[in-house]
Amino acid sequence: MKNILLAILILTRFHALSQTNITFRVNMSSYVLSSYIDPSGIYIAGNFNGWDPNMGGAMTNIGNNVWEKTIQINSSQFPILYYRFLNGNSWAVPEVFNNIALTGNCLGESSPGYTHRMLNTPLNDTTVNYLWGQCISCFIEGGTDTITSCNNYTWIDGNTYYATGNYHILYSNQNNCDSVRRLALTILNPLTPEICLVNSDNQTAHNRIIWEKENLPAVDSFYIWKESNVQNVYNRIGGTSYVDSAFFIDVNSNANVKSEKYQLQLKDSCGYFSTLSSPHKTIHLTTNLGLNNSINLIWNHYEGLTYGSYYILRGNNSNDLNIIDTIQNGLNSYTDVNPVIGSSLYQVGIIKDTPCNPQKSGNFNASYSNVVDVNLANLHSIENSKIKLYPNPVKDILKIAVSENYLNEEIIVFDQLLRKIDHFKLLDLINDLDFTMFNNGVYYIYFPSNSIFYKIAK
């Protein structure tokens, strides 16, 4: 009786040891380059399931066209496994082996004339990895890595991944062994660049988009996007190489007409594009005549920066404008109650707390609006019903007809640069002002009593 029980125990133990879990894994990367995966999936058929691919169902796609299935094998019943992988749940598209002497010696004859994959079943659980139609098995499991160069890896499913996660990658080693590595991957996404400043050139009225490019890894180029005539819809208008200066001139912009809105994008050396930066919007200034010959300035806010103040500038040369006042950033209008008589240029600007990096993009720390030319003389050239000057243009004598209210008033003659060149007292209702001594050009006749200029041409 003891011998019988011992025999049963040994037999039971042997039967338990003969049960082996084998994980079959096949990489379809080389196959999908020229064909496609059947909608039903990838199957395995062999002597252990009666060569019926539907016994046990399809294999599982564990990611990036790597398929696997774990099967429990009785190694005492099947000391040698013969099998193939199939694309689909029938024998319509099985693996084809044209060379029995493939590296790895994974093939054998299950019966005369039929060459299949061959595996001697071990007693311990195991995983076997192959490429479709080949005996090559260079499957490396586990590990971590960080993508730092796009040339190190090729994605086996043809897709591009921007997020950190678990992936399968296919690469070739120095022996040209196509290998699959399953690993936790940290991908360095292209950094989103930021615009440093946008301003306009006083001479051309073109907008200049400025950014910084210090310490940005693997950058190939930058691209500029401009808001279209539809709000928040942007079009790409150009770009620069990383080695170029870190600014872009929008030659199709005109700061005198309207403000513009821009975004910046980066392209890395792998050919990947970053997301668009936060937008920057320029300042556009307009003016009009206020009460008592004052000048009203109105503008839109600059967008894209934090700043505390607006600076009001005035002058008679666009390259030499001076700050006449500073106001808080919550305001977008200003009245110059003491304008300069004649022609004055106005501009509104902001100053950035920290300038754009001077080593890469130049020393830019301010954004200014367009320059507006306000000419008080032109604004007051409307004839007063009580004052008439003729002929205009004048050749020799300018007639000045006035009402009695202007008698004995001394008027002033200015040249086109608003330099005082003569004065004349009105003694009669019609007065003669001799212009023969003046050169051809533009002159202004100023009436102090009502602060009115009259523009006269000779």
CA atoms within 13 A on the CB side of 387: 22
Ranges in the chain annotated CATH 2.60.40.10: 2-131, 194-210+217-235+243-379
Give the separation between CA 262 and CA 227, rounded to whole angstroms.
6
Residue in the block written with tokens 């590990």 = 143
Position 8 scores a pLDDT of 39
Angle CA 391–294–449, to nearest 5: 50
* Fold of domain 381-457: Immunoglobulin-like (2.60.40)
Q: Is the pTM of this model over 0.75?
A: no
CATH architecture of 2-131: Sandwich (2.60)
Tokens representing residue 286 in the block: 């307009």
The confidence score (pLDDT) of residue 182 equals 55
Strand partners, 349: 311, 368
Asked whether the beta carbons of 309 and 199 are under 8 A apart, the reply is: no
* Structure tokens given for 301: 């806010």
- The Cα 148–Cα 144 span in angstroms is 13
pLDDT of the residue at 427: 93
Closest CA relative to residue 211, chosen from 357, 107, 95, 5 = 357
Helix, strand, or coil here: 34? coil
Question: CB burial class (10 A; 0-12, 13-18, 19+) of residue 142?
Answer: exposed
130 contacts 136 by C-beta, under 8 angstroms: yes
Host H or E run for residue 338 = none
Q: Kindly report the number of other CB atoms within 10 A of residue 244's CB atom.
A: 12
Assess contact for 182 and 64: CB atoms under 8 A: no
266 beta partners:
222
Instruction: For the chain, list residues with pLDDT below 70.
Output: 1-17, 29-30, 32-34, 64, 98-105, 136-189, 214-217, 292-293, 341-343, 358-363, 375-385, 417
Judge: domain 194-210+217-235+243-379, CATH 3.30.43.10: no
